[in-house]
Amino acid sequence: MMMATCGRVGSEGALCRSVVNDARVSMNTKRSCLEAITLILQGTGWSKVRSLPPTLTCESGLGRAGYPVAELLARWNRLSARR
């Protein structure tokens, strides 16, 4: 299911697959990121998604794993704007 969602995010797919396959990222973080991405793909605006608990969990978990969180969130914002 996670990889199927990664296939729907276009140019962000490689990063999504990287997160899914990264052993440093907990399953809880992966689920939270998946939920946030799914909401964006369903057309929920970034202003709403940005403040939801799954997005905050995703953000903190990816930060702990060493991902460039500010860049990632900016990319999700752009992805949301394209929907």
Q: Rounded distance, CA 61 to CA 27, Å?
A: 10
At residue 23, the pLDDT reads 95
Going from N- to C-terminal start, the domains of the chain cover 2-81
Each residue's pLDDT tens digit, 46-80: 999 999 999 999 999 999 999 999 988 888 888 78
For the entire predicted model, the pTM comes to 0.85
Cβ-Cβ contacts under 8 Å for 71 (sequence gap 6 or more): none
